[in-house]
Amino acid sequence: MIGSNPEVQERVYTEIQNVLSDSTREVNMDDLNNFIYLHAVILEVLRLYPVVSIITRKTKNSMDLSKYTIDPGSNCLLFIHAMNRHHSWGAEREAFKPERWLDGTSRPPYATFGLGRRSCIGMKLALNSMKVILIHLLRDYKVIADIKKLVINQELLLTPVSGHYIALEKRSKTLSSSFQPQDVHC
């Protein structure tokens, strides 16, 4: 997504420069809390493309849903992909808009890491790991991609059908005249 949205990528790069200056030091936990926009970008990507697209739950109690009643002990499938794109996210629910995470308003349920007391206990570790990886990558490279070319298969896990090609371009601050962007198959 950042390769397909250069203005978002440049805003993340600016945030990296503002938080870490031009240093190449390691990122620490205090730094990670200052990456507000990068955090919003990651949440938005995971809202649109959750890795796990379906989870199951077994009901403990009877549940009344307008015209239906779900009996205790019933197995229910929760379609995270659909929940994260529900009309309650607004008219632009299909759009990639990291800014939606910055406005301070309440949002519909975000189901990427599950919901409630059974949500993923590794969520903070996963988000912080993604931040560190992206910080190190974007410090030195621009990512170039076209999300429109990505074909995904939605089963239990959301996976690319045949991979996805991106290009990494060395940032101009250290660009050598012999450097050529590298295609990387992910």
Closest Cα partner for 8 from 45, 32, 41, 46? 41
What domains can be seen in the chain, in order of their start residue? 6-140+154-159 (1.10.630.10)
Alpha-carbon span 67 to 69, nearest angstrom: 7
**What per-residue confidence (pLDDT) applies to 86?**
93
Residue range 26-67, pLDDT digits in tens: 899 999 999 999 999 999 999 999 998 888 889 999 999 889
Tell me the H-state helices in 26-121: 29-32, 36-48, 80-83
Residue length, the chain? 186
- pLDDT digits 0-9 by tens, 146-177: 998 888 888 778 888 876 788 999 998 643 43
pTM: 0.85
Residue 185's pLDDT is what?
Answer: 47
Structure tokens given for 119: 């949500």
Question: Residue 19 and residue 11: Cα distance in Å, rounded?
Answer: 12
Three-class secondary structure of residue 145 per DSSP: coil
Tell me which of 4-8, 140-144, 152-156 is least confident: 152-156
**pLDDT, greater one: 179 or 184:** 184
pLDDT at 173: 66
Taking 70 as the threshold, does the pLDDT of residue 184 lie above it? no
Q: Which of 49-58, 103-112, 119-128, 159-168 has the highest mean pLDDT?
A: 119-128
